[in-house]
Structure 1
Amino acid sequence: MAINLQKGQRINLEKSNGSKLQNICVGINWGAIEKKGFFGFGTTKEAVDLDASCALFDASKKLQETIYFGNLQSKNGSVKHSGDDLTGDIDGDDGLDNEVITLDFSLLNSNIEHVAFVLNSFRGHDFGKIPFASIRIYEGTPKMVKEVFATYDIAHNSGFSGYVSMVMGVFYKRNNEWKFNAIGEPTKDKKLPETITTVMNQYL
Protein backbone atom coordinates (compact mmCIF):
# COMPACT_ATOMS: atom_id res chain seq x y z
CA MET A 1 0.00 0.00 0.00
CA ALA A 2 1.39 3.40 -0.99
CA ILE A 3 2.38 5.78 1.80
CA ASN A 4 1.55 9.48 1.96
CA LEU A 5 4.86 11.27 2.20
CA GLN A 6 5.64 13.19 5.37
CA LYS A 7 8.83 15.00 6.29
CA GLY A 8 11.43 12.82 7.97
CA GLN A 9 9.82 9.45 7.26
CA ARG A 10 12.59 6.98 6.39
CA ILE A 11 11.78 3.65 4.78
CA ASN A 12 13.57 0.65 3.32
CA LEU A 13 13.21 -0.11 -0.38
CA GLU A 14 11.95 -3.62 0.25
CA LYS A 15 8.89 -5.12 -1.36
CA SER A 16 6.42 -7.43 0.37
CA ASN A 17 8.20 -10.48 -1.07
CA GLY A 18 11.50 -9.40 0.49
CA SER A 19 13.20 -8.34 -2.74
CA LYS A 20 14.74 -4.88 -3.16
CA LEU A 21 13.42 -2.22 -5.50
CA GLN A 22 15.87 -1.67 -8.37
CA ASN A 23 14.01 0.58 -10.80
CA ILE A 24 12.19 3.63 -9.43
CA CYS A 25 10.04 6.15 -11.29
CA VAL A 26 9.14 9.55 -9.88
CA GLY A 27 6.15 10.95 -11.74
CA ILE A 28 4.45 14.34 -11.47
CA ASN A 29 0.96 15.13 -12.76
CA TRP A 30 -0.49 18.65 -12.64
CA GLY A 31 -3.13 20.91 -14.13
CA ALA A 32 -3.39 24.37 -15.65
CA ILE A 33 -4.71 27.30 -13.60
CA GLU A 34 -8.26 28.46 -14.32
CA LYS A 35 -8.74 32.21 -14.57
CA LYS A 36 -12.03 34.07 -14.74
CA GLY A 37 -12.62 36.31 -17.73
CA PHE A 38 -13.45 40.01 -17.70
CA PHE A 39 -16.34 40.96 -15.40
CA GLY A 40 -16.48 37.35 -14.22
CA PHE A 41 -17.65 35.91 -17.54
CA GLY A 42 -16.14 32.64 -18.74
CA THR A 43 -12.82 31.13 -17.80
CA THR A 44 -9.45 30.74 -19.45
CA LYS A 45 -6.64 28.28 -18.74
CA GLU A 46 -3.13 29.43 -17.87
CA ALA A 47 -0.41 26.89 -18.62
CA VAL A 48 1.74 25.79 -15.67
CA ASP A 49 5.34 24.68 -16.17
CA LEU A 50 6.55 22.50 -13.29
CA ASP A 51 10.03 20.98 -13.52
CA ALA A 52 11.08 17.75 -11.85
CA SER A 53 14.83 17.38 -11.34
CA CYS A 54 17.25 14.90 -9.82
CA ALA A 55 20.62 15.62 -8.19
CA LEU A 56 23.36 13.03 -7.55
CA PHE A 57 25.76 13.49 -4.61
CA ASP A 58 28.78 11.53 -3.41
CA ALA A 59 29.60 10.46 0.18
CA SER A 60 31.05 13.90 0.98
CA LYS A 61 27.75 15.49 -0.18
CA LYS A 62 29.41 17.00 -3.23
CA LEU A 63 27.14 17.46 -6.25
CA GLN A 64 28.16 15.16 -9.12
CA GLU A 65 25.35 15.56 -11.67
CA THR A 66 21.98 17.21 -12.11
CA ILE A 67 19.35 15.66 -14.39
CA TYR A 68 16.64 18.12 -15.45
CA PHE A 69 14.90 19.43 -18.60
CA GLY A 70 18.23 20.77 -19.91
CA ASN A 71 20.14 17.53 -19.25
CA LEU A 72 17.82 14.57 -19.75
CA GLN A 73 20.17 11.74 -18.85
CA SER A 74 23.03 11.04 -16.46
CA LYS A 75 26.38 10.23 -18.03
CA ASN A 76 26.00 6.48 -17.52
CA GLY A 77 22.25 6.29 -18.14
CA SER A 78 21.27 5.40 -14.57
CA VAL A 79 18.91 8.38 -14.38
CA LYS A 80 16.65 9.49 -17.24
CA HIS A 81 14.18 12.36 -17.59
CA SER A 82 11.11 12.04 -19.83
CA GLY A 83 11.38 15.64 -21.06
CA ASP A 84 10.02 19.08 -20.26
CA ASP A 85 6.24 19.55 -20.03
CA LEU A 86 5.47 23.27 -20.40
CA THR A 87 1.72 23.34 -19.82
CA GLY A 88 0.28 20.70 -17.48
CA ASP A 89 -3.11 19.14 -18.25
CA ILE A 90 -4.90 21.97 -20.04
CA ASP A 91 -8.04 19.89 -20.61
CA GLY A 92 -8.32 18.50 -17.09
CA ASP A 93 -6.76 15.63 -15.18
CA ASP A 94 -5.95 12.77 -17.54
CA GLY A 95 -4.44 10.70 -14.73
CA LEU A 96 -1.08 10.48 -16.50
CA ASP A 97 2.24 11.86 -15.31
CA ASN A 98 3.41 14.98 -17.15
CA GLU A 99 7.06 14.38 -16.28
CA VAL A 100 8.77 11.18 -15.13
CA ILE A 101 12.32 10.60 -13.89
CA THR A 102 13.53 7.00 -13.81
CA LEU A 103 16.32 5.72 -11.58
CA ASP A 104 18.10 2.36 -11.91
CA PHE A 105 20.08 1.72 -8.72
CA SER A 106 22.09 -1.09 -10.34
CA LEU A 107 23.58 1.38 -12.85
CA LEU A 108 24.48 4.16 -10.43
CA ASN A 109 28.19 4.89 -10.08
CA SER A 110 29.55 3.36 -6.85
CA ASN A 111 30.56 6.79 -5.52
CA ILE A 112 26.95 8.07 -5.52
CA GLU A 113 25.39 7.89 -2.08
CA HIS A 114 22.53 10.41 -2.26
CA VAL A 115 19.93 10.87 -5.02
CA ALA A 116 17.61 13.82 -4.40
CA PHE A 117 14.39 14.66 -6.25
CA VAL A 118 13.10 18.24 -6.31
CA LEU A 119 10.29 20.16 -8.00
CA ASN A 120 10.30 23.78 -9.17
CA SER A 121 7.66 26.01 -10.72
CA PHE A 122 9.55 27.45 -13.70
CA ARG A 123 7.39 30.57 -14.10
CA GLY A 124 6.84 31.03 -10.38
CA HIS A 125 3.29 29.71 -10.20
CA ASP A 126 2.21 29.26 -6.58
CA PHE A 127 1.71 25.56 -5.79
CA GLY A 128 -1.42 26.55 -3.89
CA LYS A 129 -3.09 27.94 -7.02
CA ILE A 130 -2.61 24.85 -9.17
CA PRO A 131 -5.94 22.94 -9.32
CA PHE A 132 -4.31 19.55 -9.00
CA ALA A 133 -0.71 18.46 -8.59
CA SER A 134 0.29 15.02 -7.38
CA ILE A 135 3.56 13.15 -7.10
CA ARG A 136 4.04 9.42 -6.98
CA ILE A 137 7.04 7.16 -6.63
CA TYR A 138 6.52 3.78 -8.20
CA GLU A 139 8.14 0.67 -9.56
CA GLY A 140 7.93 0.22 -13.32
CA THR A 141 8.55 2.41 -16.35
CA PRO A 142 7.18 5.78 -17.52
CA LYS A 143 4.52 3.89 -19.49
CA MET A 144 3.79 1.06 -17.07
CA VAL A 145 3.14 1.29 -13.34
CA LYS A 146 3.81 -1.97 -11.47
CA GLU A 147 3.37 -0.82 -7.89
CA VAL A 148 3.01 2.63 -6.37
CA PHE A 149 5.46 3.08 -3.52
CA ALA A 150 4.57 6.53 -2.21
CA THR A 151 2.33 9.47 -3.13
CA TYR A 152 1.53 12.99 -2.10
CA ASP A 153 -0.81 15.75 -3.16
CA ILE A 154 0.59 19.27 -3.38
CA ALA A 155 -2.48 21.17 -4.54
CA HIS A 156 -4.72 20.18 -1.64
CA ASN A 157 -2.10 20.63 1.06
CA SER A 158 -2.29 24.11 2.58
CA GLY A 159 1.37 23.84 3.59
CA PHE A 160 2.41 24.27 -0.06
CA SER A 161 0.48 27.51 -0.61
CA GLY A 162 2.82 30.41 -1.31
CA TYR A 163 5.72 28.21 -2.43
CA VAL A 164 7.20 27.51 -5.87
CA SER A 165 9.85 24.90 -4.97
CA MET A 166 9.96 21.72 -2.96
CA VAL A 167 12.15 18.76 -2.02
CA MET A 168 10.28 15.57 -2.89
CA GLY A 169 12.63 13.07 -1.27
CA VAL A 170 16.16 11.66 -1.07
CA PHE A 171 17.33 8.12 -1.71
CA TYR A 172 20.45 7.40 0.31
CA LYS A 173 22.86 4.48 0.69
CA ARG A 174 23.62 2.94 4.09
CA ASN A 175 25.69 -0.23 4.52
CA ASN A 176 25.48 -0.75 0.77
CA GLU A 177 21.66 -0.69 0.83
CA TRP A 178 19.42 2.03 -0.56
CA LYS A 179 16.80 3.63 1.66
CA PHE A 180 14.42 6.55 1.18
CA ASN A 181 13.81 9.73 3.15
CA ALA A 182 10.29 10.85 2.23
CA ILE A 183 10.61 14.60 2.67
CA GLY A 184 7.74 16.29 0.80
CA GLU A 185 8.67 19.76 2.07
CA PRO A 186 8.27 23.13 0.31
CA THR A 187 11.25 25.49 0.31
CA LYS A 188 11.60 29.26 -0.04
CA ASP A 189 13.84 28.82 -3.11
CA LYS A 190 12.90 30.29 -6.47
CA LYS A 191 15.22 28.40 -8.84
CA LEU A 192 16.68 24.90 -9.20
CA PRO A 193 20.28 25.76 -8.13
CA GLU A 194 18.94 27.28 -4.92
CA THR A 195 16.83 24.21 -4.22
CA ILE A 196 19.82 21.92 -4.72
CA THR A 197 21.81 24.02 -2.25
CA THR A 198 18.96 23.65 0.25
CA VAL A 199 19.10 19.88 -0.23
CA MET A 200 22.85 19.85 0.43
CA ASN A 201 22.54 22.00 3.54
CA GLN A 202 19.46 20.43 5.11
CA TYR A 203 18.48 17.03 3.74
CA LEU A 204 21.56 14.87 3.09
Structure 2
Amino acid sequence: MAIQLSKGQRIDLTKNDPSLQKIMIGLGWDVKSFDGGQDFDLDASVFLLNEAGQCRNELDFIFYNNLQSSDGSVKHLGDNRTGEGDGDDEQITIDLARVPQDVHRIAITVTIHDAELRNQNFGQIANAFARLVNQDNDNEVLRFDLGEDFSIETAVVFCELYRHGTDWKFNAVGSGYQGGLAALVQAYGLSV
Protein backbone atom coordinates (compact mmCIF):
# COMPACT_ATOMS: atom_id res chain seq x y z
CA MET A 1 0.00 0.00 0.00
CA ALA A 2 1.34 3.41 -0.99
CA ILE A 3 2.23 6.01 1.61
CA GLN A 4 -0.05 9.06 1.36
CA LEU A 5 1.84 12.34 1.82
CA SER A 6 0.62 15.83 2.64
CA LYS A 7 2.13 19.10 1.45
CA GLY A 8 5.53 19.68 3.04
CA GLN A 9 6.08 16.08 4.10
CA ARG A 10 9.37 14.37 3.31
CA ILE A 11 10.16 10.70 3.17
CA ASP A 12 13.33 8.64 2.88
CA LEU A 13 13.32 6.63 -0.32
CA THR A 14 16.57 4.70 -0.58
CA LYS A 15 17.21 4.54 3.19
CA ASN A 16 13.92 2.67 3.63
CA ASP A 17 14.49 0.59 0.49
CA PRO A 18 18.15 0.45 -0.66
CA SER A 19 17.10 -1.54 -3.76
CA LEU A 20 14.97 1.36 -5.04
CA GLN A 21 16.84 2.65 -8.10
CA LYS A 22 14.52 2.90 -11.10
CA ILE A 23 11.44 4.96 -10.39
CA MET A 24 8.57 6.47 -12.32
CA ILE A 25 6.88 9.69 -11.26
CA GLY A 26 3.30 9.75 -12.50
CA LEU A 27 1.59 13.15 -12.64
CA GLY A 28 -2.13 13.67 -13.10
CA TRP A 29 -4.83 16.32 -13.05
CA ASP A 30 -8.35 17.11 -14.20
CA VAL A 31 -9.80 20.34 -15.51
CA LYS A 32 -12.78 21.54 -13.49
CA SER A 33 -15.97 21.85 -15.49
CA PHE A 34 -15.29 25.23 -16.98
CA ASP A 35 -15.88 26.64 -20.41
CA GLY A 36 -13.29 29.25 -21.20
CA GLY A 37 -13.45 28.54 -24.89
CA GLN A 38 -9.97 26.99 -25.07
CA ASP A 39 -8.51 23.63 -24.13
CA PHE A 40 -6.06 23.27 -21.26
CA ASP A 41 -2.60 21.93 -22.06
CA LEU A 42 -0.59 21.15 -18.93
CA ASP A 43 3.07 20.23 -19.28
CA ALA A 44 5.39 18.39 -16.90
CA SER A 45 9.01 19.53 -16.71
CA VAL A 46 12.03 18.37 -14.73
CA PHE A 47 14.92 20.52 -13.52
CA LEU A 48 18.19 18.87 -12.47
CA LEU A 49 19.69 21.16 -9.82
CA ASN A 50 23.12 21.53 -8.29
CA GLU A 51 23.84 22.23 -4.62
CA ALA A 52 22.95 25.92 -5.14
CA GLY A 53 19.50 25.00 -6.54
CA GLN A 54 20.42 25.96 -10.11
CA CYS A 55 20.58 24.01 -13.37
CA ARG A 56 24.15 23.30 -14.41
CA ASN A 57 23.25 24.06 -18.06
CA GLU A 58 20.26 24.09 -20.45
CA LEU A 59 20.36 20.30 -20.84
CA ASP A 60 19.34 19.99 -17.16
CA PHE A 61 15.85 21.18 -18.20
CA ILE A 62 13.83 18.15 -19.36
CA PHE A 63 10.48 18.90 -21.00
CA TYR A 64 8.42 18.19 -24.16
CA ASN A 65 11.18 19.55 -26.46
CA ASN A 66 14.06 17.83 -24.58
CA LEU A 67 12.73 14.48 -23.41
CA GLN A 68 15.90 13.12 -21.84
CA SER A 69 18.81 14.29 -19.70
CA SER A 70 22.19 14.19 -21.44
CA ASP A 71 23.29 11.23 -19.28
CA GLY A 72 20.02 9.32 -19.78
CA SER A 73 19.17 9.19 -16.07
CA VAL A 74 15.92 11.17 -16.46
CA LYS A 75 13.35 10.65 -19.22
CA HIS A 76 10.08 12.45 -19.93
CA LEU A 77 7.73 9.92 -21.54
CA GLY A 78 5.90 12.47 -23.69
CA ASP A 79 3.42 15.31 -23.71
CA ASN A 80 -0.27 14.62 -23.12
CA ARG A 81 -2.03 17.63 -24.64
CA THR A 82 -5.51 16.94 -23.27
CA GLY A 83 -5.13 15.37 -19.82
CA GLU A 84 -8.23 13.32 -20.49
CA GLY A 85 -8.85 9.96 -18.88
CA ASP A 86 -7.97 8.45 -15.53
CA GLY A 87 -4.52 7.75 -14.17
CA ASP A 88 -1.27 9.48 -15.04
CA ASP A 89 -1.40 12.29 -17.57
CA GLU A 90 2.38 12.51 -17.93
CA GLN A 91 5.23 10.35 -16.63
CA ILE A 92 8.90 10.83 -15.79
CA THR A 93 11.35 7.96 -15.27
CA ILE A 94 14.48 8.38 -13.16
CA ASP A 95 17.37 5.97 -12.68
CA LEU A 96 18.72 7.20 -9.33
CA ALA A 97 22.00 5.28 -9.73
CA ARG A 98 22.76 7.16 -12.97
CA VAL A 99 22.00 10.69 -11.73
CA PRO A 100 25.32 12.63 -11.78
CA GLN A 101 26.86 13.25 -8.35
CA ASP A 102 26.72 17.03 -8.79
CA VAL A 103 22.90 16.90 -9.18
CA HIS A 104 21.55 17.37 -5.66
CA ARG A 105 17.86 17.97 -6.37
CA ILE A 106 15.40 16.98 -9.05
CA ALA A 107 12.43 19.36 -9.22
CA ILE A 108 9.28 18.06 -10.91
CA THR A 109 6.95 20.80 -12.10
CA VAL A 110 3.76 21.27 -14.08
CA THR A 111 2.84 24.41 -16.00
CA ILE A 112 -0.15 25.50 -18.07
CA HIS A 113 0.85 26.18 -21.68
CA ASP A 114 -0.07 29.73 -22.78
CA ALA A 115 -1.88 30.27 -19.46
CA GLU A 116 -1.86 34.07 -19.59
CA LEU A 117 -2.99 34.18 -23.22
CA ARG A 118 -5.82 31.72 -22.49
CA ASN A 119 -6.70 33.26 -19.11
CA GLN A 120 -6.11 29.93 -17.33
CA ASN A 121 -4.65 29.05 -13.93
CA PHE A 122 -4.35 26.19 -11.44
CA GLY A 123 -7.52 27.36 -9.69
CA GLN A 124 -9.30 25.69 -12.62
CA ILE A 125 -7.49 22.38 -12.07
CA ALA A 126 -8.68 19.61 -9.72
CA ASN A 127 -7.42 16.25 -8.51
CA ALA A 128 -3.74 17.04 -9.16
CA PHE A 129 -1.35 14.39 -7.88
CA ALA A 130 2.17 13.01 -8.04
CA ARG A 131 2.92 9.37 -7.38
CA LEU A 132 6.17 7.44 -7.21
CA VAL A 133 6.36 3.89 -8.54
CA ASN A 134 9.19 1.38 -8.14
CA GLN A 135 9.75 0.29 -11.75
CA ASP A 136 11.36 -3.00 -10.75
CA ASN A 137 8.16 -4.37 -9.22
CA ASP A 138 5.55 -1.81 -10.42
CA ASN A 139 4.55 -1.04 -6.81
CA GLU A 140 3.32 2.45 -5.99
CA VAL A 141 5.57 3.62 -3.14
CA LEU A 142 3.92 6.95 -2.36
CA ARG A 143 1.28 9.40 -3.50
CA PHE A 144 0.87 13.12 -2.96
CA ASP A 145 -2.53 14.70 -3.69
CA LEU A 146 -1.95 18.43 -4.07
CA GLY A 147 -5.40 19.61 -3.01
CA GLU A 148 -7.05 22.66 -4.50
CA ASP A 149 -5.42 25.59 -2.73
CA PHE A 150 -4.34 27.38 -5.92
CA SER A 151 -6.05 30.35 -7.51
CA ILE A 152 -3.93 32.51 -9.84
CA GLU A 153 -0.84 30.28 -10.18
CA THR A 154 0.20 29.13 -13.67
CA ALA A 155 3.09 26.88 -12.58
CA VAL A 156 3.42 24.43 -9.69
CA VAL A 157 6.39 22.56 -8.28
CA PHE A 158 4.66 19.27 -7.50
CA CYS A 159 7.58 17.52 -5.79
CA GLU A 160 11.32 17.15 -5.49
CA LEU A 161 13.75 14.31 -5.06
CA TYR A 162 16.90 15.31 -3.22
CA ARG A 163 20.11 13.79 -1.94
CA HIS A 164 20.72 13.45 1.77
CA GLY A 165 24.18 12.00 2.14
CA THR A 166 24.15 8.87 0.02
CA ASP A 167 20.37 8.50 0.16
CA TRP A 168 17.52 10.00 -1.87
CA LYS A 169 14.47 11.61 -0.26
CA PHE A 170 11.11 12.77 -1.61
CA ASN A 171 9.63 16.16 -0.75
CA ALA A 172 5.91 16.84 -1.34
CA VAL A 173 6.31 20.51 -2.33
CA GLY A 174 3.02 21.73 -3.86
CA SER A 175 4.18 25.35 -4.33
CA GLY A 176 2.62 27.57 -6.98
CA TYR A 177 4.15 30.35 -9.05
CA GLN A 178 2.82 33.05 -11.31
CA GLY A 179 4.55 33.61 -14.64
CA GLY A 180 4.30 30.05 -15.96
CA LEU A 181 7.24 28.10 -17.26
CA ALA A 182 9.35 31.23 -17.80
CA ALA A 183 9.24 32.00 -14.06
CA LEU A 184 10.44 28.50 -13.19
CA VAL A 185 13.18 28.52 -15.84
CA GLN A 186 14.51 31.78 -14.43
CA ALA A 187 14.18 30.62 -10.82
CA TYR A 188 16.37 27.64 -11.65
CA GLY A 189 19.10 29.77 -13.24
CA LEU A 190 18.37 29.50 -16.96
CA SER A 191 17.55 32.18 -19.55
CA VAL A 192 14.17 32.32 -21.23
TM-score per shorter chain, which class?
Answer: 0.7 to 0.9
Partner deviation per Cα, 1:70-109 (whole Å, 9 max, x = no partner): 10000011000011111110xxxx3231210111111111
**Rounded Cα–Cα distance in structure 2 between residues aligned with 1:118 and 1:97:** 14
C-alpha change, 1:152 and 1:171, in structure 2 (3 Å) is closer
Question: Which residue in the other structure is 1:41 paired with?
Answer: none
Q: Kindly state the Cα deviation for residue 132 of structure 1 after the two structures are TM-superposed.
A: 4.1
1:95-146 C-alpha deviation (Å, 9 max, x unpaired): 23121011111111121111111111113232232354333222228xxx82
- Counterpart of 2:68, as a letter, is Q
Determine if contact 2:14/2:167 at 8 Å carries over to the other structure.
no
Q: In structure 2, what is the Cα distance between the partners aligned to 1:34 and 1:176?
A: 45
Partner secondary structure for residue 75 of structure 2: strand
Q: Which residue in the other structure is 1:181 paired with?
A: 171
Give the number of aligned pairs: 182
In the alignment, which residue of structure 1 is the partner of 2:144? 152
- Cα distance, 1:123–1:150 mapped onto 2, change above 3 Å: farther
Unmatched 5+ stretches in structure 1: 37-43
TM-score (structure 2 length as normaliser)? 0.80
- Structure 1 stretches of 4+ moved >6 Å: none
Q: 2:52 is matched with which residue?
A: 60
Q: Which residues of structure 2 form unaligned runs of 5+?
A: none
Q: Which amino acid aligns with 1:151?
A: R
Q: Name the structure 2 match of 1:19.
A: 18
**Does the CA contact (< 8 Å) of 1:3 and 1:151 recur in 2?**
yes
**Aligned AA (1:30):** W
Contact kept in structure 2, 1:13 and 1:179, CA below 8 Å: yes
**When you count strand as a share of all residues, which structure comes out higher?**
1
TM-score w.r.t. length of structure 1? 0.76
The answer to whether 1:49 aligns with 2:41 is: yes
Q: Residue 67 of structure 1: CA displacement?
A: 0.4
Q: Tell me the equivalent position of 1:78.
A: 73
Which has more radius of gyration?
Answer: 1
Mean Cα deviation higher: 127-136 or 67-76: 127-136
Amino acid in structure 2 at the alignment position of 1:195: L
User: Is 2:134 aligned against 1:134?
Assistant: no
1:117 is the counterpart of 2:108: yes
**Residues of 2 paired with 1:14 and 1:8: CA distance?**
19
Cα distance in structure 1, aligned partners of 2:142 and 2:186:
25
Shift of residue 31, structure 1, vs aligned partner: 3.4
Identity %: 32
Out of 158, 181, 185, which is 1:192 matched to?
A: 181
